[in-house]
Amino acid sequence: MAKAQQPERVGFFGRIKQLGMVFAFTAKRDKLFIPLVSLAVTIALALTVLMAIFWSVIFIPVGLMLVLLGVLIVLNLRANRAMMVEAEGQPGAAASIVENMRGDFRVTPAVQSTTQMDFVHLVICRGGVVLIGEGNPARVKGLIAQERKRLAKVIGSADLRDFIIGNDEGEVPIRKLRMTLVRLPRTLGPKDVNALDKRLKALSARPQLPKGAIPKNMRPPNIRVPRGR
């Protein structure tokens, strides 16, 4: 049996290149990023000077590590914010965000959709089954209702929640989606999540018979059985 393909490892210089790209992306979209980085570096350097004066020059390497740590903390916080702002209004952004979350989140994008770029994504996690809608709220509500009806027959006693991405009352801003899912009460264990995931995948894999008359090219052949004598 062939082994599963391992994810490509990124070397030291590859990581540095990735950090540089994230730095440039954040600086271009966040006006406060550079001032906050400058402030973090200034505070770290000031602490380094104080430690070197009052204790020993041996603290200089520690201070340099503080500078690097301060820059990385600011970069992480502001890059996430910049990415959330960039994701607003992008079709499918909610599914992409959940797919990259830490933890056991099983995502099936666009289980319901329309030609007007309205989507409902299915998420299975420790908090139960979650439906996330993106697009026009009126159309998305109809899609969610259809999906809730379909899922109600197979999820048993698991919690079923739904959220619509948006900035109006009763909706969840996309920048708060991650925290909203993390804060859900954990009502399912890891084994329950696995069992529910398999059940829903089996439901999705079940072939759907077309409605209406069966086309002639799909009808079974008309076989005549001879009568017994």
Question: Residue 192 carries which side chain, given as an amino acid letter?
Answer: D
> Do residues 204 and 108 touch, judged by C-beta distance below 8 A?
yes
Q: Per residue in 26-82, pLDDT tens?
A: 777 778 878 888 888 888 888 888 877 777 777 778 878 888 888 888 888 887 777
Q: Is 26 helix (H, G, I), strand (E, B) or coil?
A: helix
- What does pTM read for this prediction? 0.63
Q: Is 177 helix (H, G, I), strand (E, B) or coil?
A: helix
Residue 35 token pair: 């001032």
> Do residues 133 and 163 touch, judged by C-beta distance below 8 A?
yes
Phi and psi at residue 191, to the nearest 5°: -65, -35
Q: How far is 117 from 123, CA to CA, in rounded Å? A: 19
Model confidence band, residue 142 (pLDDT cutoffs 50, 70, 90): very high
Q: Is 144 helix (H, G, I), strand (E, B) or coil?
A: helix
Q: How far is 187 from 101, CA to CA, in rounded Å? A: 19
Residue 137 token pair: 């709220």
Mode of pairing for the β-strands spanning 119-125 and 106-113: antiparallel
Q: Per residue in 164-212, pLDDT tens?
A: 988 888 888 888 888 899 999 998 888 989 988 888 888 766 544 444 4
Q: Tell me, what's the pLDDT at 120?
A: 92
The mean pLDDT value for 148-152 works out to: 89
Q: Tell me, what's the pLDDT at 3?
A: 39
**103-106 LR contacts (CB < 8 Å, sep 24+):** 103/182, 104/190, 104/193, 105/181, 106/193, 106/197
Q: What is the DSSP letter of 158?
A: S
